[in-house]
Amino acid sequence: MQKDVPTRSADPDGELAPAAAPARDAEAGLRGALRYCGQRQHLRRTLRIALVVGIVLTAINQLDVILRGDAVAITYVKCGMNFVVPFIVSNLGLLTGRR
């Protein structure tokens, strides 16, 4: 005797899915995204983008303060963020183009 087990296609509202499935899917998605962005060819591209954009942003926003000698710790934090933000954005663009 076979039991009738409903499948996902028979459950359009997803009510039969286990409660932990979305958490596992999100975790696998994050791990997959990190693995994809961490590939050598992708890192080479995104790091290059972050370097170029970070230098330009730092020159535009903070160079005068640094050259005057008025830079304080927060100035260097801002300079660091000029590199981190383009790196994150370029990786998000990479992931968006993957789908």
Domain ranges of the chain: 39-99
Largest CA distance in the chain: 84
Nearest to 91 by CA among 22, 21, 33: 33
Of 1 and 38, the structure prediction assigns the larger pLDDT to 38
| pLDDT computed for residue 8 by the predictor | 52
pLDDT tier at 42, thresholds 50, 70, 90: very high
Distance CA 96, CA 90 (A): 10
pLDDT tier at 28, thresholds 50, 70, 90: low
Has residue 9 got a pLDDT over 60? no
